[in-house]
Structure 1
Amino acid sequence: MTATGGAWHPGSYLRFAGERARPFVELVARVAAEAPRSVVDLGCGEGSLTASLAQRWPQARVTGVDSSPEMLAAASAAASERVAFELGDVADWAPREPVDVLVSNAVLHWVPGHPEVMGRWAAALPPGGWLAVQVPGNFRAPTHALLADLCCSPVWADRLADVAPSPDTVLEPTGYAEVLTGAGLAADVWEATYLHVLRGPDPVLAWVRSTVLRPVLARLDDDAGARFTDAYAAALRAAYPARPDGTTLLPFRRIFAVGNRPT
Structure 2
Amino acid sequence: MDKERKLIIAGNWKMNKTVAEALDLVNGLKRELSNVKEVDIVVCPPFTALSEVSKAILDSNIRLGAQNMSEHNVGAFTGEIAAVMLKEFSVRYVILGHSERRQYQKESDDLIARKALAAHAASLKPIICVGETLQEREAGLTEKVLETQVRGSLAGLSRDQMVETIIAYEPVWAIGTGKTATTEQAQQAHAFIRSLLARLYDEATARKVRIQYGGSVKPSNARELMSQPDVDGALVGGASLEVRSFSDIVKNSI
Give the TM-score of the pair, scaled to structure 2: 0.33
Greater fraction of residues in helix: 2
Q: Which structure has the bigger radius of gyration? A: 1
Greater fraction of residues in strand: 1
Give the TM-score of the pair, scaled to structure 1: 0.32
